[in-house]
Structure 1
């Protein structure tokens, strides 16, 4: 054997038993105390240093240090409390930077339980770290406290490591029992050995072997009760809840459970401690699959419900629909990665060069991985609970819906109509889970995290699985109403409105049309202090800017579907459509002319709901109650059903802090400026609050040139904007105004410019310009995911209607300056007549807005 391939434990007698350690070995010591592990680790270090080896000590435990500073020793202090991913990533990076041939000593792995509260992640850590150490030709020591871990974790470690040694003290003597020594064997290797000075003597007689076996049997009996640390903690919590206990004991347990289930954001933790009782947390645990955090979306939903039900000044119980939710905890995300062998690729993706480069490969793998058998069984049990009712699988990542980071629309959610045989329903569900996991690697999500300084933070994907709120209407399933609400309304379109009153964005059917910008369709915007007022100017606008299509779940097709309101009204509906719509006289007349006189036609105005019921005041009370409790503006997602009476049953499915901008007093907008100094001015139709914003760059998309372009060129214009966006990324020194016809971010190029948000995220002002000849019109998307993106990236939004008497647009200002497009994109010459880039001197142009006056102006010197 090559002497370069072997290593020593520091005990020559033990080396003889094991036929020496081999380069690449991971050595796990299972002990009753850290002191015993320390004894053997110190001799290993002394031997290594004596041979001139480099020793690296990974220090993270609460126990006394195992390795002291010395020449040849490098000590890395790690913080396990930052979470599994930062810890495992740090270890991986240290191994990579240190390189091959190094000897390692790790603190006792059992101490990680204090930080992670679950055996599962210790097993995952070992499973991803051990093979990499083997690749690097290292020798590494690990310790485990024997009675601290579940069978599953020990089995995972035993399967992965090369050497597993049990260490016992019996009758004052140390006994070492090798239980795994990879690729080595001798007649006595796997017998217990008693330490006698430097020698280790195998126990070969039956008397001593039987006495020692009693220890094994006693520990084996205990091991049958070895649950995951997570489960043992909750057993203690259940016992505490079931017996008389002091308030301080209950509060201490609540704090402990919140820290391992809710998250580590101080503000959210403070709210959780106030509004979750021990019984609440045990109820959450009973519906949790896996271990770890339930994620921001689940926490926000549960907190909001808790806040309302503890508001004893109002009978919220009467109006709130009970939720039926399960939580797929965050540790399953990493277990999925580890189980499928993708950890190394994930580490490559986390490097600066690999951040975007490796993400598509990782996302594709996420879409086709397999889950561990025990996870699959829990998934099946959950689906049995739901039966064939439709469900929705929603992202609920650690960072989602927190203060400052909404992640609105960055991660996916999927409806599952949940029809067919059990195996078919299971495969559809599992596919949805994979797709949500894959969305963590989308370009928009990665750009969002990096732009907000979150790319180095731990981001695990938990999931919220909910029964879809609604009812069957023949073969369709949907809620009567869905929408989003905000406790502060920065899109007031009338100077008599109070922004503090809040707003709603309402749709009939599934809420997808409320949170996303639906093509050629418009939700109803409701200012809660004046719910009868509409942004539209006249009856023709009301028809044009109303909801015409409804998102539903088609049970027969086992898929989501969009149907026209005209089609839906022809079915037998278990709802009073008159509450939300009025007869559409114009459509009825057209149908009559076509011989379809008996067919009903409706115009969705929500007039009856808003004028004849107390719904608007009820929603305002809900939003203000939550805002007061959060001490922060909030926005919510909800559904509404009327079940046999006039009482709205509200299913509050999401609540998060509302990111707002420009709530302070606006600047003094100048009056009666000469028209040659004004670039544009308008009344209303803007979002972003009160701002004073300099403009140093304008990007303009010419509507008359854009409209006749073929489809492929329209997409290329969007990609060109994205490339320019990357080059105007300094909002401080180069604040940029982006203007174009119709809707930015549409998926239908005939309605606007199909950019992804990551292609416009660096601009300071976004303007959608109405171009009626081409059918390109803005969509005032307050409350949608698109709106959240604008607010969080501090982009001011304006819809310009140049043909409106309350709007002025001085197109000639653009013509005074040369087009600098080719200086940024030399190969874009064919689009020079359509895309214009103008650079302005400092102070040459600025934008000002005033929410209360409902005025916005962009003017120059």
Structure 2
């Protein structure tokens, strides 16, 4: 019995078909050589190009060819000299031999251009052609007055040109047609191609959007045409593993001589190699019927008036086209019909075991999948041979798992068109409407493509990396909503936010959305986040992140109530475009408010129910550049802020845990007991399931978000691997949730014990995102940790929620600003934290080096506290300079201030003095505050030539305040403060 497991399946086929690599060689320009009369008779009214164009359109084909006519060969040579052609079609005149002579001549001059002879047929023409040298001619066709023949000729030659790549490299299937009768194959080929092209239109409906549908049509089976035994054998030897079926005449040449049994011999050879290969035998000789049917071949009578219909039926029935018909192997009776892949997934467990075994063992299932261009699944099903009825459960498991994984893979990285009957549990990303996805929507679609290109995301050290199930309401829905409710006069007015929101809530959404929302509820069984995705949000050059609202609605059993809440949430996000803060921001960024368009993301909220609240195990934000590296960290290592619960906690400035994904073992906030007790999370954000049904939506999008104490969340088991315990008696922190003591959110088991590979996964997302975007990025994410992660191979799921470029204006720093001579500087540091240009600072507060005495440091702290209070009251930033470590608990090492005593400083500087050299702290005492408020931090040691500090210049300036220990200097013009956090360099330039 075949051993089928998930890892084997993912190894085998989780790779998409490269439809875009198919049909790379096309016929775009055709030269038609015919007398004006012949051309007119051929076209009836002189519009061959138009007829072929409409034929292409009706079959949904792209790139119809253009035709140029030449009345004789002199004109033909002129056309060939000035233009590149992909195909030449010639109609012989009175002198048939001229056509074949010129064909040989053109073949010598342009051997790469296929040459086709198209002629009205008669016995006389056939006799004359039989005596001609056909060396320069690829095919001779009989013109029967049907423009479908032109289409068939073009497609036949395109198939021949692309066969090697498309069949052998990509896996496209083929049909071998063997026929030497010009009259007959000229009749059969148009019918065959028309049927195959229409079938490709049908199976292309498996695609998720129009672009994908057009690409999938390239995966239709190719027609490989042979006119004698040797040509047929060469095709089978080369492409035999990719053949759907064979259509063969019985009598055709072998070694140049007509052989009355050539077709039967070829069919027998194929069946010997492949016992289940479908073979259709055609013949005008009735005695061949018994020969064919006795061998299990399908026989068609060429003399039949219904031959074209008979051929279509035979190909559809035996080559895997149309519905998959499940039959009873003992009676041949139909049991059920399966129309598409979703139908096979739904019914695979309902097919009787004997029928399933019969169809799989005879390759019927793989053939049906191949005919629909479902190559990845077909390959797996065909690879495994089932020889016993007892293997039916394995067959079911294999088929079902293949389809599930295939559908997930196909949905990933594709923005599908939302269809109520198609959106299901395996759908990933869909859009409603034809407008833009907006900034966040584009970001999510881009992430989905990144994930698709990196199969490691399916199992990243036991974690699946994915995006939540998402539907985007495109910007045209916003336009429709605004116009049908005439909302612009109210929206663009200066009315209060509450009044604007009230008007929006009373408006109607487009009726079509109601049915779509109800279909969405059938699939998403979790709370739904309704997120803004405006045209300007997350733009590469305009940082609009966080300007508009995000509402969350709980999962309620009552669909009517849930529908009302979802509709109100959508309207509320639309309204937030026109709130006062949004208008002010638009003005500040020189954008016009009525040019803003809003798409909306409807997305399942990551998380699980914990008691009465819903939230993820953790949420976080990562940046690929870290402007506050400490110890062995460097800026390019990136930085992550992570917290238990919903990510709004981090956005609102809560105490998140900060770490470098390259150095997860070294977390400053948990490096000492005091820091851990002071700087770790005490509450988390959660979505309340008890939102009253009658509650109105408010301008505050967090109205139904609650703060849950960590101690309460711990009791539900939600924080199992995120918690450490502070032992009061031993004054130590244990990386365990056992025992008595205060629970601390340290992520120790995740970051140090690697119960869940958070650091490695975020590092992967940051580095891959930066590579794909070509610039530093910021990402958002949330995750769910499996409660049994310590024992299970499946550690949980990590949801990648957003990606945006880091484009803050202050961070687009010109390095030349740092290249200043020391004579023009007050300060220069080679160990600087922060990044960007800080503006508007006119004051320098510094501890006087010449009168410094470490014994007086406690007094200095009190004096600095009062100075800081005065600056905060006046809302004026300042630079603070002092010897040793700011914030040290030991006064001998520096001024023992707490953060509130220096919170008004824009730049803090540690300086070394002769005889007073202390190892720099890099701001570790205030690190959480430095990073949260973007405060710069310099370490300067002129004594050891590590930086520059011109205290003499400051002493020469008049003081606005001076005591025995502290001095304040004010400059008329703002100082230039510039920091390159990537290189750790910073300066303060004289005004």
TM-score (norm 2): 0.43
Identify which of structures 1 and 2 has the higher relative contact order when contacts are C-alpha pairs closer than 8 Å and 6+ apart: 1
Larger Rg: 2
